Amino acid sequence: MNLLAVKTRPVVASDYAEEVDALYNYLLGVSVFFTVAICSVIVFFAIRYRRQSDADRPEATKDGKLLEILGSVIPFILVMIMFFWGAKLYFDAYMPPKDAMEILVTGKQWMWKMQHPNGKREINDLHVPVGVPIKLTMTSEDVIHSFYLPDFRKKMDVVPGKYTQMWFHPREEGVYHLFCAEYCGSEHALMVGRLHVVSPAKYEEFLSSGGMGAMAEAAASDDPVVAGKAVWEANCVICHSGPGGIGPNIHKAFGSMRELETGESILMDDDYVRNSILNPNDDIAKGYPAAMTSFKGQLNSTQISQVIAYLKSVSEADQ
């Protein structure tokens, strides 16, 4: 491993990030100066006045007033610069501009759900157009999370029972880190997403694309299988599809026997699916943690019936 090639500063993704870095450099300068100065003095004294040395030592040294005054006034001035500079940046960054594009963010153990102005949804990925200020209006469905974009030097807690806001102004296309910074339980370290800053044209294309783009429309469909597919993709697919998911892969398993942690087996029928959505800890699948939280209050009975209809339609088991 070439240590010199190791990156030691985060990506600078906005003008604001650059301003924060400037303040950081000021703090770094002050800190390095005092650390080096004081440590050098200590080392110098420890050598110069070591017990064996015959350095000049007067009977008693007096406490000097000048040193005490300088020792208070200089640090005071230095830290007041830090205070005003830091507070100014904080307030500059506090209120989003009027023309900001609003995106709704919902934190949930352990995923980020985003909704664009036209209703398009994403999970853990967030696409935004470059050059447009983005305002995030955020809340949580369960515990406190924190939406953290280190490359933009921005972070805001996502709190259940209230809305919080943050905004950022991407200046370059690219893919950036998105972390949950507030410890939120088992899979906290996996509550990680990606921020995709794309050209306005690509963003338009993304908004109108199929797949998850059609979800809002599909969710409104009269056909329970179509609507159920939309509910599945918005809520269940992230943990319950494919090997290596947080939860068992149950996509095509409706009607089969499921093994439980207790050693028993249970038939995956209508009632089992309903109960697992509402009371996920009743029957824990074998080999999986009790990690799922209840969807009570988030999915209504119609939506649950729609998911069941969809799961039946794709099942490969003998029903």
Partner 1 sequence: MNESTTKPKPNYITAGNTAKSWLLTVDHKRIGLMYLLGMTFFFLIGATAAALFRFELATHNANVFANDTYNRLFTMHGILMVFFFLIPAVPGVLGNFLVPLMIGAKDVAFPRLNLASWYIYMLGGTFTLGAIVLGGIDTGWTFYTPYSSVYADSQVILAGTGVFITGFSSILTGLNFIVTIHKMRAPGMTWMRLPLFIWAQYATSIINVLGTPVIAITLLLVVFERALGFGIFDPQKGGDPVLYQHLFWFYSHPAVYIMILPGFGVVSEVLACFSRKRIYGYEFVAFSSLAIAAIGFFVWGHHMFTSSQSPYAGLIFSILTYLVGIPTAIKIFNWTATLYKGSILLSAPMIYALGFIGLFLVGGLTGLFLATMAINVHLHDTYFVVAHFHYVMVGGMMMAWLSGLHFWWPKMFGKMYNEFWARVGAVIIFFGFNFTFFPQFIAGYMGMPRRYHVYDIEYQPFQMLSTVGAYFMGVGLIICFVTLVSSIFKGKPAGKNPFKATGVEWNQADSPPDQHNFTSPVKVDVEAYDYTDERIYQDT
**DSSP letter for each residue of 128-167:** EETTS-EEEEEEESSS-EEEEEGGGTEEEEE-BTS-EEEE
Query: Contacting partner 1 (CB under 8 A), which of 15, 18, 75, 279?
Result: 75
Taking CB under 8 A as the rule, does residue 66 contact partner 1?
Answer: no
Site for partner 1 in 172-201 (CB under 8 A): 177, 179-190
Is residue 251 within 8 Å of 281, Cβ to Cβ?
A: no
Binders in 152-171 for partner 1, by CB under 8 A: 153-157, 159-162, 164
Span of 67-75, 112-120, 123-131, 230-238 interacting with partner 1 by CB under 8 A: 67-75
Q: Distances in Å between the alpha carbon of 319 and those of 56, 227, 261, 273, 277?
A: 97, 22, 24, 15, 21
| Residue of 239, 243, 315, 319 whose CA lies nearest to 277 | 239
Strand partners, 138: 105, 164
SS3 category, 105: strand
Q: How far is the CB of 101 from partner 1 (least distance, A)?
A: 21
Query: CB under 8 A: which stretch of 64-72, 216-224, 270-278, 301-309 binds partner 1?
Result: 64-72
Nearest to partner 1 of 90, 319 (CB atom) = 90
**What is the footprint of partner 1 within residues 19-48 (CB under 8 A)?**
19-20, 23-24, 27, 30-31, 34-35, 38-39, 41-42, 45-46
Contacts with partner 1: how many residues (CB under 8 A)?
A: 86
DSSP state letters, 297-317? TTS-HHHHHHHHHHHHHH--S
Piece of 222-230, 235-243, 251-259, 288-296 that binds partner 1 (CB under 8 A):
288-296
Interaction mask 110-149, partner 1, x per CB under 8 A: --------------------------------xxx-x-x-
42: left (phi over 0), alpha (psi -120 to 50) or beta: alpha
Which residues ranging from 252 to 281 are in contact with partner 1 (CB under 8 A)?
none
Q: Residue 62, SS3?
A: coil
Give the residue with the Cβ less far from partner 1, 121 or 169.
169
DSSP 8-state class, residue 222? S
Q: Does 49 bind partner 1 (CB under 8 A)?
A: yes
